[in-house]
Amino acid sequence: MLEIKGLTANYGHITALQDISLDMGENEIVALIGSNGAGKTTLLNSISGLVTKTGEIYYNGENISAKTPRDVAKSGILQVPEGRHVFPGLTVKQNLTVGSIAWRGFKSADIEEDLERVYLLFPRLKERSHQLAWSLSGGEQQMLAVGRAMMGRPKLLMLDEPSMGLAPIVIDEMFDSIVKLNQTGLPILLVEQNAQLALEVSTKAYILEHGKITISGSAKDLINDSRVQDAYLGTRVV
């Protein structure tokens, strides 16, 4: 479904990604794990067409590496940005509606149906539908950012650090929702610094270090890999 081959991205003389290859099948949650500055966001931005790069990105067999961000989004690949970026002065419902209008044009019957789908996954957003987004908690803002992407009816959802800045119990709720969303048949590319969490919910994972993929494999294998345990899980018994 998504296949990346030999992807390299530079910011001026800084190489942010080097020779990245990645494979993702239907219905998977694929985790991209790495510490600050590893290149995780750059990889999502490369897929979305937001950064200049070389290499190939195939989506359902089509090379999308030269597509504009708008065309990538139109093909069904939607990115929930790091830091959420909800519209602070709009209500929850208005934020969600913007998601719909931006991606699919205005059809009010569709919007109501899609709102219900978002509210079913995140009942808290329904309770707060008329609240201004700036006054939501961090967890609620993250729900809103995911909900806004859902309004675009994604076929591949990319989440950039959905756990960032949230309390453990709120993170658990968010990850439950991510799993539920995936169970509806939506493939998810999940960027996370929290390797434990990411490996618990994903099928497959890639570890990114200084712009290169150093370890990859099934989530199960990675949880038991001593290199991953040492560097990312802090669980190795010596």
In angstroms, the CA 66 to CA 7 distance is 12
Q: Which residue has the tokens 């439950």?
A: 176
Please identify which residue in 27, 94, 193, 229 interacts with ligand ATP, judged by CB under 6 A: 193
65 binds, among ligand ATP, Mg ion, none (CB under 5 to 8 A by kind): none
Q: Which stretch binds Mg ion (CB under 5 A): 4-12, 78-86, 131-139, 182-190?
A: 78-86
Torsion of CA 79, 85, 90, 94, to 10 degrees: 10
Taking CB under 6 A as the rule, does residue 36 contact ligand ATP?
yes
Q: How far is CA 82 from CA 17, 107, 147, in A?
A: 18, 29, 14
Q: How far is the CB of 89 from ligand ATP (least distance, A)?
A: 26
Which tokens go with 137?
Answer: 């908690």
Please give the full DSSP string across 189-221, using - where no structure is assigned.
Answer: EEEES-HHHHHHH-SEEEEEETTEEEEEEEHHH
Q: Which stretch binds Mg ion (CB under 5 A): 59-67, 77-85, 115-123, 173-181?
A: 77-85
In angstroms, the CA 115 to CA 125 distance is 10
Q: Within positions 76 to 115, which residues make up the interface with ligand ATP, using CB under 6 A? A: 82
39 binds, among ligand ATP, Mg ion, none (CB under 5 to 8 A by kind): ligand ATP
Taking CB under 5 A as the rule, does residue 202 contact Mg ion?
no
Q: Which stretch binds ligand ATP (CB under 6 A): 30-38, 108-116, 137-145, 216-224?
A: 30-38
Residue type, 98: V
Q: Which positions touch Mg ion (CB under 5 A)?
A: 40-41, 82
Q: Which positions touch ligand ATP (CB under 6 A)?
A: 11, 14, 16, 34, 36-42, 82, 193
